[in-house]
């Protein structure tokens, strides 16, 4: 039996969306090394930029248009992992030694499985991935970049700290990753 946590993401106050009303996220820990994530953006989906389907390859700069992100940090440590998932099926994974320093490509056991489900009022991104999660517990940050067709970009996260939106801030990693089932 998997263990899950659910949380609503919040738009950064100075960059509220004109198209998306809310984003809900759910993280499920299936096993010690298996995670599933669900991001559900609710609103006028036709008004947002949805990257076209592409081969499910590791790709940099996904945050420049609509994408969903997860940050994992072992409790009490400075190192963390950033994971990016595009509706196109592309993905990225980076390890950091500390806040925005020492970035390297993170090794994954297998590419994430990314599934996009669209409806006029809902975009769902389902992600399944295998990670080496040997250190427990983990702090988790979830976020989204929503690129709107009118040229506006909204930024969503569990929490927005500081004066400038920054998904990498450890004080934005506000969820505890559920322990394995």
Q: Tell me the average pLDDT across 74-81.
A: 93
Q: Hey, what domains does the chain have and what are their CATH numbers?
A: 3-176 (2.60.40.1190)
Lowest mean pLDDT among 79-83, 146-150, 156-160: 156-160
Predicted pLDDT of residue 56: 95
Q: Is 82 a residue whose pLDDT tops 80?
A: yes
Residue-wise pLDDT for 12-70, tens only, equals 887 778 899 999 999 998 788 889 999 999 999 999 999 999 999 999 999 999 999 99
CA dihedral 11, 19, 143, 58 (to 10 degrees): -160
Q: Is 98 a residue whose pLDDT tops 80?
A: yes
Confidence class of residue 164 from pLDDT cuts 50, 70 and 90? confident
Average pLDDT, the chain: 92
Q: Tell me the average pLDDT across 135-150.
A: 91
Q: Is 145 a residue whose pLDDT tops 80?
A: yes
Please give the share of the chain, as a percent, with pLDDT higher than 70. Answer: 98
39 in Cβ contact with 25 (< 8 Å): yes
């Amino acid at each position: 039996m998997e263990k899950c946590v659910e949380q609503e993401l919040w738009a950064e106050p100075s960059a509220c969306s004109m198209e998306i009303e809310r984003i809900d996220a759910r993280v499920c820990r299936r096993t010690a090394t298996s995670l599933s994530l669900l991001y559900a953006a609710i609103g006028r989906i036709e008004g947002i930029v949805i990257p076209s389907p592409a081969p499910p390859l590791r790709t940099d700069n996904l945050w420049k248009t609509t994408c969903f992100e997860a940050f994992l940090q072992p409790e009490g440590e400075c190192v963390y992992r950033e994971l990016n998932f595009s509706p196109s099926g592309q993905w990225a994974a980076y390890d950091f030694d500390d806040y925005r320093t020492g970035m390297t490509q993170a090794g994954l056991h297998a590419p994430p499985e990314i599934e996009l489900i669209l409806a006029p009022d809902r975009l769902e991104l389902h992600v399944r991935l295998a990670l080496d999660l040997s250190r427990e517990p983990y702090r988790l940050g979830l976020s989204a970049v929503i690129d709107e067709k009118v040229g506006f970009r909204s930024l969503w996260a569990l929490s927005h700290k500081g004066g400038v939106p920054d998904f990498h801030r450890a004080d934005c990693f506000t969820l505890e990753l559920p322990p394995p089932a």
